[in-house]
Amino acid sequence: MDKLVSLQTFIRVVEDGSFAAAARKIGQSRSQVNRAVAALEDDLGVQLLNRTTRQVSVTPSGQAYYQRAKGILADLGEAEESIRESRETPSGDIRINAPMSFGTLHLGPALVDFAGLYPDIRVELALNDHFIDPVADGFDMTVRISRPSETLALIDHEIIPIKRVLCASPDFIHTHGEPDDIRALTTLPCLHYGNLPSGASWKMTGPDGPVAVQVNGVFCCNNAEVLRDAALAGLGIAEIPTFIAGPELQTGRLVTILCDYTPPELFLYLLYPPSRQLSSRIRLLVDFMHERFGGQPRWDLVQ
């Protein structure tokens, strides 16, 4: 019996929990389904399923084989789809997850343009700042701003470094003076990302190497756009990505301080399962992201 058919049959039996239910789903007799699974077991020399008169259960070997077989068939489906797509106008769905601020300020408008270029590709964008599992949550691509992932189960595709700066409003500096020592952050009002109202530790690299400062946190939020607005209102010093504070830095509504100290570098990168890279939709989106955001970011203030 054809190995591919046997694999598909075995997966059906595992997911339906019985030979009879699998047979009904695939339009074969129960004996045909049983023979397909038995042929796999004979070929492998192991028992994949425990059979009783009332139910079917998966053996440990069967469970491991099921997981691998399902992945193989998924990869095969992606490969077939890729070949079909190469001969056709790009179409289909792309589900994308991205962080809230970058999504609203930059990615959303970019994806509007992408959708205009490829009207047969349906884009679904979900924005949140929570860590998600791209595979388990069913996303084709995840856009992240952090240190690149080290998981071997996913491909990470770096686009650009993300710069962060220490900044404050001119009014704040006029009132408090411009600090010339990193230790000033322990007493000056600071605005920080997170939920620690008593303060937070900011890690940076300065002229003498890495340094950590327990800042005087007077306002905190888990959204950097709110921190930017608080800095504009003169509430304190903030550590903000330039993709959020860029326009205010360029117009002088915010100014950088302690420029010899830099926060750890983050990256804008794409994360997706290995099988997705075969999809022409994903390749088009990766190329588009490089073209749109690669090189010198438009939001960065040249200093």
Q: What is the mean pLDDT of each run of 10 residues along the chain (303 residues)?
A: 78 83 82 84 85 78 84 72 62 89 93 93 89 73 78 73 94 93 93 69 90 90 92 95 93 94 88 69 90 83 49
**CATH 1.10.10.10 boundaries in the chain:** 3-86
Q: What's the CATH number for 3-86?
A: 1.10.10.10
Q: pLDDT value at position 156?
A: 75
Q: In whole angstroms, what is the distance from residue 96 CA to residue 301 CA? A: 29
**Residue 86 token pair:** 């190469």
Q: pLDDT value at position 249?
A: 93
Q: Which of 148, 222, 213, 219 is nearest to 182 (CA)?
A: 213
Q: What is the CATH architecture of 164-256?
A: 3-Layer(aba) Sandwich (3.40)
**CATH 3.40.190.10 boundaries in the chain:** 92-160+266-293, 164-256
Q: Which of 124, 135, 165, 164 is nearest to 147 (CA)?
A: 164
DSSP state of 211: E
- Residue 73 CB-density burial (10 A; 0-12 exposed, 13-18 middle, 19+ buried): middle
Cβ neighbours of residue 8 closer than 8 Å, sequence gap 6 or more? 26, 73
92-160+266-293 topology per CATH: D-Maltodextrin-Binding Protein; domain 2 (3.40.190)
Q: In whole angstroms, what is the distance from residue 176 CA to residue 258 CA? A: 14
